[in-house]
């Protein structure tokens, strides 16, 4: 494994009040993004929240209305020519010629990169195809590729040259579960080699599987960012299953908790015991003391659990809307 070539606190991407308007609409609204070097950073938000627009502006594919961007410590778009060779990107998929093979398409795209020496082109293309598991399909026409294979070919294109930063816009969009797993595994292995990966997604589960950090976008605004642990913090709940719901609510209230009866998402079996639950604050009472208090008050405890915060609850609370939660 290559040792890290950055110092703690270095940022791969930094934006300050980055804003992009289309006419009256503010698609990206003054976002301050801080993507640490070496992270796998999930850029999470529902469709239409401004992810692709932000990425296009960061990469210099579109001009910002206002605000600043730096990539790998260099100001954009001023230092674009210097920075871009170190950045691999997959945004809206490159245009492949369907009648050419995967390898021939990559050689064509590699030719367009003035930093890529022609002498080593074949070897470079073969290595990139190998990297994404397409060696066996290298000679097949792209028209015969599945969507997952095309997406991996797009990533191979981003990997032709050694990169310090990879920017992938919804790389698993439209993939079947197998293709999705392949892309996720690839992202993790690239990160393991020290490449910073910035990956957008509208799927929460995706970010939970792949990323060390995340930022949440909603309607053009950046709501929160940090490590996944930081984002999850402080939202756990205690849950009690009991036929004595009223008594349980009183006991939890006496312990300082705001308890209530849960409304099941799926109607409960008739006669099933209801669940009573309460959010736990940052410094909760130990679970055993809550159990002891419930039992001492004669509450028949038939189920007891502490649910740690899920990112999903946090995100729904922040955005006021659900994600397409596909696992
Ligand atoms: N070229 C454009 N012209 C006008 N509006 C656009 C353009 N590109 C994006 N938008 C609008 O900006 C908003 C954010 O879009 P986008 O960045 O594609 O979101 P996401 O990638 O999160 O789905 C959407 O309302 C979209 O319709
Ligand atoms: Mg998008």
CATH number, position 201: 3.40.50.300
What is the residue with the minimal CA distance to atom 25 of ligand 1? Answer: 48
Q: Which of 215, 232, 249 is the last residue of a domain?
A: 232
pLDDT of 41-62, one tens digit each?
999 998 999 999 999 999 999 9
Lowest mean pLDDT among 90-99, 121-130, 263-272, 291-300: 263-272
**52 Cα to the center of ligand 2, angstroms:** 4
**What percent of the chain has pLDDT above 90?**
55
Residues shown for the chain:
327
CA atoms within 13 A on the CB side of 47: 3
As a whole number, the mean pLDDT across the chain is: 88
Q: Is the CB of 51 under 6 A from ligand 1?
A: yes
Instruction: Identify which has the larger pLDDT, 44 or 9.
Output: 44
pLDDT digits (tens, 9 = 90+) for 198-220: 999 998 888 988 999 999 999 99
Does the beta carbon of 48 lie inside 6 Å of ligand 1? yes
Residue of 33, 50, 222 best suited for mutating to test ligand 1, as the one with most atoms within 8 Å of CB:
50
User: Which pLDDT belongs to residue 326?
Assistant: 38
Is the residue at 313 inside a domain?
no
What distance in Å separates the CA atoms of residue 191 and residue 40, rounded to the nearest whole number? 7
Q: Tell whether ligand 1 has an atom less than 6 A from the beta carbon of residue 99.
A: no
- Say if residue 74's pLDDT is above 80: yes
Count the domains in the chain.
2
Do 210 and 261 have their domain in common? Answer: no
Share of the chain above pLDDT 70, in %: 93
| Domain assignment of residue 298, given as a range | 237-308
In this structure, the answer to whether residues 164 and 272 fall within a common structural domain is no
Is 27's C-beta closer than 6 angstroms to any atom of ligand 1?
A: yes
Cα–chain center distance at 51: 11
Quick one: 219 and 296 in the same domain?
Answer: no
Q: Compute the distance between CA of residue 248 and CA of residue 295 in angstroms, rounded to an integer.
A: 9
Please indicate, yes or no, if residue 201 is contained in any of the structural domains. yes
Question: Does residue 5 lie within any of the structural domains?
Answer: no
319 inside domain? no
Q: Determine, yes or no, domain membership for 117.
A: yes
Are 121 and 253 within one domain?
no
Sequence-ordered list of residues with C-beta below 8 angstroms from that of 266, at least 6 positions apart, any chain: none
Nearest ligand, measured from the Cα of 28: 1
Average pLDDT over residues 20-27: 96
Which ligand is the nearest neighbour of the Cα of 45?
Answer: 1
Q: Has residue 317 been placed in a domain?
A: no
Of 232, 257, 290, which residue sits at a domain end?
Answer: 232
Report the candidate in 188, 189, 184, 190 with the shortest Cα–Cα distance to residue 158.
190
| 217 Cα to the center of ligand 1, angstroms | 13
Ligand nearest to the CA of 50: 1
Confidence of residue 235 (pLDDT cuts 50, 70, 90): low
pLDDT for 294 equals: 95
Residue 325 has pLDDT above 50, yes or no: no
| C-alpha of residue 43 to centroid of ligand 1, in Å | 15
Question: Ligand 1: distance of its center to the CA of 257 in Å?
Answer: 43
79 alpha carbon – ligand 2 mean position (Å): 25
Nearest ligand to residue 51 Cα: 1
Reply yes or no on whether the pLDDT at 301 is more than 70. yes
> Could you tell me if 151 and 271 lie in one domain?
no
Q: Which residue from 18, 48, 54, 64 has its CB within 8 A of the most atoms of ligand 1, so it is best to mutate?
A: 48
Mean pLDDT to the nearest integer, 269-298: 86
* Alpha carbon 327 to chain centroid, angstroms: 13
Q: Ligand 1, atom 14: nearest CA belongs to which residue?
A: 50
In a domain, 314, yes or no: no
User: Rounded to an integer, what distance in angstroms lies between the CA atom of residue 71 and that of residue 53?
Assistant: 16
How many angstroms is it from 43 CA to the middle of ligand 2? 10
Specify whether 53 is located in the same domain as 174. Answer: yes
Q: What is the DSSP letter of 161?
A: S
Quick check: is 6 in a domain? no
What spacing in Å lies between the alpha carbon of 46 and ligand 1's midpoint? 12
Same domain, residue pair 227 and 242: no
Q: Indicate whether 178 and 288 sit together in one domain.
A: no
- Same domain? For 149 and 96 the reply is yes
> Taking the mean position of all CA atoms in its chain, how far away is CA 288?
36
pLDDT at 65: 97
What is the spatial distance between Cα 63 and Cα 287, in angstroms, rounded to a whole number?
Answer: 54
Same domain, 170 and 247: no
CB 237 within 8 A of CB 279: yes
If one compares 173 and 25, the residue with the highest pLDDT of the two is: 25
Instruction: Give the pLDDT of residue 129.
Output: 95
Which CATH number belongs to the domain containing residue 260 in this structure? 3.30.70
Query: In this structure, are 176 and 258 located in the same domain?
Result: no
């Amino acid at each position: 494994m290559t040792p890290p070539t950055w110092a703690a606190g270095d940022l791969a991407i930094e934006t300050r009040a980055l804003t992009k308007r289309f006419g009256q609409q503010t698609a990206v609204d003054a976002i301050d993004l801080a993507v640490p070097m070496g992270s796998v950073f999930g850029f999470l938000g529902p469709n239409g929240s401004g992810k692709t627009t932000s990425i296009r502006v960061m990469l210099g594919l579109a001009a910002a209305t206002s605000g600043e961007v730096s990539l790998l410590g260099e100001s954009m778009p001023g230092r674009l020519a210097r920075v871009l060779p170190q950045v691999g990107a997959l945004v809206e998929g490159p245009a492949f010629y369907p009648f050419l093979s995967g390898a021939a398409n990559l050689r064509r795209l590699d030719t367009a990169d003035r930093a890529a020496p022609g002498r080593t082109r074949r070897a470079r293309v073969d290595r990139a195809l190998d990297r994404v598991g397409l060696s066996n399909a290298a000679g097949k026409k792209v028209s015969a590729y599945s969507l997952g294979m095309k997406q991996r070919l797009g990533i191979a294109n981003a990997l032709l040259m050694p990169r310090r930063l990879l920017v992938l816009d919804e790389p698993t969009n439209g993939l079947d579960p197998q293709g999705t797993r392949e892309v996720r595994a690839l992202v993790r292995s690239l990160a393991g080699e020290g490449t910073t990966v910035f990956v957008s997604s509208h799927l929460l589960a995706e970010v939970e599987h792949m990323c060390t950090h995340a930022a949440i976008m909603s309607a053009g605004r950046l709501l929160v960012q940090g490590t996944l642990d930081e984002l999850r913090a402080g939202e756990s709940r205690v849950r009690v299953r009991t036929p004595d719901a009223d008594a349980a609510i009183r006991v939890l209230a006496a312990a300082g908790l705001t308890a209530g009866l849960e409304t099941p998402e799926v109607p409960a079996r008739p006669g099933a015991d209801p669940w009573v639950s309460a959010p736990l604050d940052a410094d909760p009472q130990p679970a055993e003391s809550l159990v002891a208090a419930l039992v001492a008050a004669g509450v028949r405890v038939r189920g007891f659990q502490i649910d740690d915060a899920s990112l999903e609850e946090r995100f729904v609370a922040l955005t006021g809307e659900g994600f397409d939660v596909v696992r």
